[in-house]
Chain A
Amino acid sequence: MKDVHEIRLTVNGRPHELAVEARRTLADMLRHDLGYTGTHLGCEHGICGACTVLLDGAPVRACLVFGVQADGAEVRTVEGLADGEQLSDLQQAFSDHHALQCGFCTPGFLMLAEAYLAENAGSTLGEDEARELVAANLCRCTGYQGIVEALLATARARQRP
């Protein structure tokens, strides 16, 4: 028999109630049960970070978290970054700095950067530190330079009063 649990959570502010199998990952639940397909799976063993989402504000690998663990939580995904059709400053910076090519890993980098910027609002970000942060995830297309530059530019812009 399937071990099914009823859970409640919000995703990007929208409440959801659903029955989910205990073994189902948060990533699969978000993508296939709730339709948030912006979160991508690149390795399903916690290395590549493409599936990074924010669970109660903290970045997690959605492939390493079970859906049931999100019961009662607030989840943020890439679909929640923009203000309607208006790209956020971080999203715009990614485009301005050519920080994406195929775009598959991009949602994970955006959520990673979003969490960092929220947590470290107002502090200065250096290039080495930015590279260390970006090194949490894998991108196979860009060589990372654009991602590092986009992160630095957003951090600088958010520091300005």
Chain B
Amino acid sequence: MSAPAAGFDGRWVGAAVPRKEDRRMLLGRGRFTGDLIRPGMLHAAFVRSPHAHALVGTIDGTAARQVPGVAGLFTAAGLGHPYLLAMLERDEFVPTPMPILAGGRARFVGEPVAMVVADDAYLAEDAAELVEVGWDPLPVAASMEAATAAGAGEHKGAPRLHDHGNCLVDLLMFDDDRLPQIFAAAKTCVNATFRSARVAALPLEGRACLADWDDRDDQLVVHVSTQVPHQVRSGIAQALDLPERAIRVIAPDVGGGFGLKCVVGREEVAVAAAALRLRRPVRWAEDRQENLTAAFHGHEQRYQVKAAFDEQGRILGLDAEIDCDTGAYSVFPFTCAVEPLMAATELPGVYKVPAYRARGRAIATNKAPAAPYRGVSRPQIVLVMERLMEKAAAALRLDPLQVRRINLIGREEFPYTGVNKITYDEGSYRESLDLAEKQVSEQGWPAERDRFREQGRRAGIGYACFSERTAYGTPTMSQRRMRMTPGYDTALVRMDPTGEVIVTTGTCGHGQGHETTFAQIVADRLGIHPDQVKLRQGDTDLASYGWGTWGSRSVVVGGGAAGRAADIVASQLRQVAGSLLEASPADIELAGGMARVRGDDAAAIPIPELARVVHFQAHRLAEDLRYALEARATFDPPGTFSNACHAAMVVIDPGTCAIRLHRYLVVEDCGVVINPAVVDGQVRGGVTQGVAAALLERLCFDADGQPSSATLMDYLAPTATEICAVDVVHLQTPSRYSETGAKGMGEGGTIGAPAAVLNAINDALSDMGVRFDHIPVLPHELAAVL
């Protein structure tokens, strides 16, 4: 049993408890999907489109079928044209069924049109290369500009991906007829266009699945590297027309997700279909080229923004045209609206914007579909707002931090309902900025920047203030009008006869340390040690229907449900103890593994003894206390906002124009911190992804839609030398909307970093006329202006 961490005060919540997950990973005994082996297992390989847009003619698999060891070749027709359909119940939404294998038409390079299964993965790839497809290339829309190129009528000049054209969502989310007057009368108006590149979530483990028919359970058992086991089950059931009970989805250890795995992949459904037909286990493991070209992408957006400010820098009005490059199809179950809806709804962010208009569009292009990659539009909207603050300050000759302060929602204004109809729960928006500025000053950043400048090197400091809406339950999610509306989660807490506890959840951690943090939450409520609490997750046969792990929801929603269920079990324990000790249950305290009568040290029973009596000597108890110590509870919160202020310092190499991250500070407030080591780790990992989005990462395509960043030599993921130590400081404003007082915080690092880094770059260029309003900023772009 691990010893209590330093500072243990009788509560496990808040302690840096060592992660329960670590040991098996360090020993090389993690169990990832690709590690699983089944007797008679077959391996799948996909035949993918080499064209960004083409009609699919005949598919000749004669040669492929003749390769010894090939067990099957599947096409759209052979599978009966199954598809995944993500639906938004809005008139403005154009559905785009995503075929499991493309039949009539391929809409991006890498789209699967056929699947070969064979005795080993090498053979399957050999055979896939022998499949002959008759391609008839079509004109390509490789960018939003190409997809919306105006002819005589709307989009007439652009190649159409879908019958209804390329605009799949066009929502005027907010409008205000006062805006023209506000802009006309304002002291200053800022007009700007902001862009962010298409990027890859890039979990180190690519997507993978293993499907196996089980005759005894009359069930298809599908192991998937996923964040959302139940949605994979629903997707397979809908695509293959099966009852959900006939599918069991298991997520074993998952090697990172970051949103890539919170949607259902067509390959997962195809492999399930093959296993169903062949009645043999079939496995597929994505390679990195498939991952970079044919999995899901995200974050490719353009904002055309106008903002009005008064002479003190107070924002008066905001108007945004938001376009999101959604790729070829809507993803299941979130749809292609996830980016534009998030962006248009949440753009005002932490600032008090009195008048607002926002139009959000999802534009289809001949590229892989966009999935909700970590942050989902918020890295972009924060970048927009933080650049606006800087631009307004420059125009008005004001201190940019002062401009932020005058606009930030203040402590006394919570709960604050914004122009975007969102109610922000209590946070530390101004306090986090104040503390960040103080730390930056005390740590000597400005003096260091000056020293760099004296040495002839460009250096800059940038800030970003933001909040992160987390743990959306159905009350909030229903506003999006998704046919499948996520948000709640259910936990089962069960104590066994030895006093150990199993917690079952529908959330699905994949690196966030949930086995540890959920155990901390439950241990406190039951008065036991976290080592006595085992979390079972990622199994649709074990857990009630749940929504997996994404959107910084798990510890708040899943952990909240576990806490509620544990409270019920604690009450059962108190009643049993009260009965055995002849005391009132209200006087029983659960702590340190014991049930004690408050104020009477002699009257105590070990909790395992209570569990033993309930199960093995039930007759000693009244009927309603017998047989089981278990409870199920659901949590469906409205959502809660964590917040942070980031500060970054960059130094530009005068020779190469390389931008080096020199210092980084995060002042964050996620309410009650369950485990500070886990929170710091999430922040640092998130910051690294956000910094990479600002300085390194972009998926490139030519005008024909051919990807040119299909390897990790072309797509630059950050290594240890592209990031610096990240200093994390915590403020704690507990949420009244969560069971534990915790707020979600899984995405904040990625959300704040691009804006902070971009502002730092612009600060380094402050003596010049040029400003950058896009990410990533690459050395050759700097070289062109320096």
- Asked if B37 lies at the interface with its beta carbon under 8 angstroms from chain A, I say yes
Q: Which residues of A contact B202 (CB under 8 A)?
A: 140
Inter-subunit contact B711/A45 (CB<8 Å): yes
The digit string for A19-59, where 1 denotes a CB below 8 A from any CB of B, is 00101100010011000111111111101101000000000
Inter-subunit contact B720/A135 (CB<8 Å): yes
Inter-subunit contact A101/B512 (CB<8 Å): yes
- Asked if B450 lies at the interface with its beta carbon under 8 angstroms from chain A, I say no
- Asked if A159 lies at the interface with its beta carbon under 8 angstroms from chain B, I say no
Instruction: Report which residue of A103, A135, A142, A148 has the largest number of chain B beta carbons within 10 angstroms of its beta carbon.
Output: A103
CB distance from A95 to the nearest CB of B (A): 4
Q: A82-B27, A138-B717, A143-B688 are in contact. Are A95 and B22 (CB under 8 A)?
A: yes
Q: How far is the CA of A115 from the CA of B517 in the complex (A)?
A: 33
- Asked if A147 lies at the interface with its beta carbon under 8 angstroms from chain B, I say yes
Inter-subunit contact A95/B23 (CB<8 Å): yes
- Asked if A119 lies at the interface with its beta carbon under 8 angstroms from chain B, I say no
A-B pair number, CB within 8 angstroms: 171
CB distance from B126 to the nearest CB of A (A): 10
Inter-subunit contact A140/B685 (CB<8 Å): yes
Q: How far is the CA of A146 from the CA of B711 in the complex (A)?
A: 26
Inter-subunit contact B28/A77 (CB<8 Å): yes
In the complex, chain A residues 119-143 whose Cβ is within 8 Å of any chain B Cβ: 131-132, 134-143
Residue in A21, A32, A45, A94 whose beta carbon sits within 8 Å of that of B712 in the complex? A45
Q: Which residues of B contact A41 (CB under 8 A)?
A: 34, 285
- Asked if B32 lies at the interface with its beta carbon under 8 angstroms from chain A, I say yes
Inter-subunit contact A36/B688 (CB<8 Å): no
Inter-subunit contact B23/A78 (CB<8 Å): no
- Asked if A66 lies at the interface with its beta carbon under 8 angstroms from chain B, I say no
Instruction: Report which residue of B203, B258, B749 has the largest number of chain A beta carbons within 10 angstroms of its beta carbon.
Output: B203
Q: How many interface residues does B have (CB within 8 Å)? A: 57
- Asked if A116 lies at the interface with its beta carbon under 8 angstroms from chain B, I say no
Inter-subunit contact B18/A95 (CB<8 Å): yes
CB distance from B564 to the nearest CB of A (A): 27
- Asked if B624 lies at the interface with its beta carbon under 8 angstroms from chain A, I say no
Inter-subunit contact B32/A40 (CB<8 Å): yes
Q: A132-B721, A140-B689, A144-B720 are in contact. Are A106 and B678 (CB under 8 A)?
A: no
Inter-subunit contact B254/A87 (CB<8 Å): no
Inter-subunit contact B32/A104 (CB<8 Å): yes
Q: Which residue of A lies closest to B37 (CB)?
A: A32
The digit string for B257-300, where 1 denotes a CB below 8 A from any CB of A, is 01000000000000000000000000001011000000000000
- Asked if A6 lies at the interface with its beta carbon under 8 angstroms from chain B, I say no
Q: Which residue of A lies closest to B721 (CB)?
A: A135
CB distance from A119 to the nearest CB of B (A): 19
CB distance from A65 to the nearest CB of B (A): 16
CB distance from A161 to the nearest CB of B (A): 26
Q: Which residue of A lies closest to B727 (CB)?
A: A145
Interface of B is mostly: loop
Inter-subunit contact B203/A102 (CB<8 Å): yes
CB distance from A123 to the nearest CB of B (A): 19
The digit string for B686-712, where 1 denotes a CB below 8 A from any CB of A, is 111100000000000000000000011
Inter-subunit contact B720/A21 (CB<8 Å): no
CB distance from B25 to the nearest CB of A (A): 3
Interface of A is mostly: loop
Q: Which residue of A lies closest to B715 (CB)?
A: A47
Inter-subunit contact B19/A140 (CB<8 Å): no
Residue in A31, A50, A95, A136 whose beta carbon sits within 8 Å of that of B35 in the complex? A31
Q: How far is the CA of A140 from the CA of B678 in the complex (A)?
A: 15
Q: Which residues of B contact A24 (CB under 8 A)?
A: 122
Q: Which residues of B contact A87 (CB under 8 A)?
A: 23, 26-27
Inter-subunit contact A142/B681 (CB<8 Å): yes
Q: How far is the CA of A50 from the CA of B32 in the complex (A)?
A: 13
Inter-subunit contact B27/A141 (CB<8 Å): no
Q: How far is the CA of A140 from the CA of B398 in the complex (A)?
A: 39
Q: How far is the CA of A87 from the CA of B285 in the complex (A)?
A: 30
CB distance from B73 to the nearest CB of A (A): 21
Q: How far is the CA of A21 from the CA of B288 in the complex (A)?
A: 23
Q: Which residue of B lies closest to A137 (CB)?
A: B719
Inter-subunit contact B720/A101 (CB<8 Å): no
- Asked if B256 lies at the interface with its beta carbon under 8 angstroms from chain A, I say yes
Q: A45-B288, A47-B711, A145-B725 are in contact. Are A138 and B27 (CB under 8 A)?
A: no
CB distance from B658 to the nearest CB of A (A): 14
Q: Which residues of A contact B354 (CB under 8 A)?
A: none
The digit string for B392-424, where 1 denotes a CB below 8 A from any CB of A, is 000000000000000000000000000000000
Inter-subunit contact A131/B25 (CB<8 Å): no
Q: Which residue of B lies closest to A144 (CB)?
A: B720
Q: Which residue of B lies closest to A97 (CB)?
A: B677
Q: How far is the CA of A111 from the CA of B482 in the complex (A)?
A: 46
Q: Which residue of B lies closest to A130 (CB)?
A: B720
Inter-subunit contact A23/B288 (CB<8 Å): no
Q: How far is the CA of A95 from the CA of B26 in the complex (A)?
A: 8
CB distance from B35 to the nearest CB of A (A): 4
Inter-subunit contact B511/A147 (CB<8 Å): no
CB distance from A35 to the nearest CB of B (A): 8
Q: Which residues of B contact A148 (CB under 8 A)?
A: 720
Inter-subunit contact A102/B510 (CB<8 Å): yes
- Asked if A100 lies at the interface with its beta carbon under 8 angstroms from chain B, I say yes
- Asked if A8 lies at the interface with its beta carbon under 8 angstroms from chain B, I say no
- Asked if A91 lies at the interface with its beta carbon under 8 angstroms from chain B, I say yes
Inter-subunit contact B204/A139 (CB<8 Å): yes
Q: How far is the CA of A21 from the CA of B24 in the complex (A)?
A: 31
- Asked if A68 lies at the interface with its beta carbon under 8 angstroms from chain B, I say no
Q: List 11 A-B contacts (CB under 8 A).
A: A28-B121, A31-B34, A48-B712, A101-B512, A102-B204, A103-B24, A105-B255, A142-B681, A143-B686, A143-B723, A145-B684
10 closest Cβ pairs, A-B complex: A38-B28, A104-B255, A103-B25, A102-B511, A78-B28, A101-B511, A143-B684, A143-B688, A37-B35, A47-B712
Excluding A95-B18, A95-B26, A131-B720, 6 further A-B contacts by CB distance (< 8 Å) are A31-B35, A91-B26, A102-B204, A103-B511, A140-B202, A140-B685
